[in-house]
């Protein structure tokens, strides 16, 4: 969404034309039982016109997975990996607060690479401990605060047709 609906600026007529066309298409789609869904990881650059009534009326913030979600992701990622008996997936889930699915993927891959470097046939808890030192969460405290600030500013723009127009 951020590629199509940036704040209008002096970037050029092309981006403004694209945004105008997108707004027109969204307005015309409301009469035809079409749901318009936009996704971005840069909500700070979305033009406010897109958030007016009748356009994108609901804004959802998808946070990093909680501990239970991380555990499920880790189970899926390690399902076909040869894990040693000392690996406790629950402990890894606890240790990975603010890790995204991509971060967890990198963590599991790094643990596998570490095991291969040590010529081990199984991935051990030591391999995961080493990978935890190398693979850090992409959602830092500063990034989380930044998203909270953006969420507050967007929730002030999105029309309040219901009690809670912003979920996050």
Specify the higher pLDDT residue, 155 or 167. Answer: 155
Question: For the chain, how many structural domains are there in total?
Answer: 2
Confirm whether 7 is domain-assigned: no
Residue 148 has pLDDT above 50, yes or no: yes
Q: Residue 135's pLDDT is what?
A: 98
pTM for the predicted model, two decimal places: 0.70
Closest CA to 108 of 141, 140, 70: 70
Judge if 40 and 71 occupy the same domain. Answer: no
Judge if 127 and 99 occupy the same domain. Answer: yes
Q: How far apart are CA 123 and CA 165, in angstroms?
A: 45
pLDDT in tens, 53-99: 677 777 777 888 999 999 999 999 999 999 999 999 999 999 999 99
Q: Residue 167's pLDDT is what?
A: 44
Judge if 71 and 105 occupy the same domain. Answer: yes
pLDDT in tens, 12-59: 666 677 778 888 777 777 666 777 788 887 777 777 777 776 777 777
What residue numbers bound the domain in which 149 lies? Answer: 13-63+141-167
Residues 137, 99 contacting (CB under 8 angstroms): yes
Judge if 45 and 92 occupy the same domain. Answer: no
Confirm whether 130 is domain-assigned: yes
């Amino acid at each position: 969404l951020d590629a199509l609906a940036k704040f209008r600026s002096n970037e050029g007529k092309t981006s403004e034309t694209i945004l105008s066309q997108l707004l027109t298409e969204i307005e015309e789609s409301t009469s035809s039982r079409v749901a318009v869904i936009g996704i971005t990881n840069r909500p700070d650059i979305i033009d406010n016109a897109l958030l007016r009534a009748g356009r994108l009326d609901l804004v959802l913030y998808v946070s990093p997975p909680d501990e239970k979600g991380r555990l499920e992701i880790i189970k899926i990622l390690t399902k076909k990996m040869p894990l040693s008996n000392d690996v406790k997936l629950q402990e890894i889930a606890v240790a990975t607060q603010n890790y995204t699915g991509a971060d967890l993927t990198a963590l599991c891959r790094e643990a596998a690479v570490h095991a291969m470097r040590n010529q081990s046939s199984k991935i051990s808890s030591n391999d995961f401990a080493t990978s935890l030192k190398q693979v850090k969460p992409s959602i830092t405290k500063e990034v989380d605060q930044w998203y909270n600030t953006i969420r507050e500013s967007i929730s002030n723009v999105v029309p309040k047709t219901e009690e809670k127009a912003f979920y996050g």
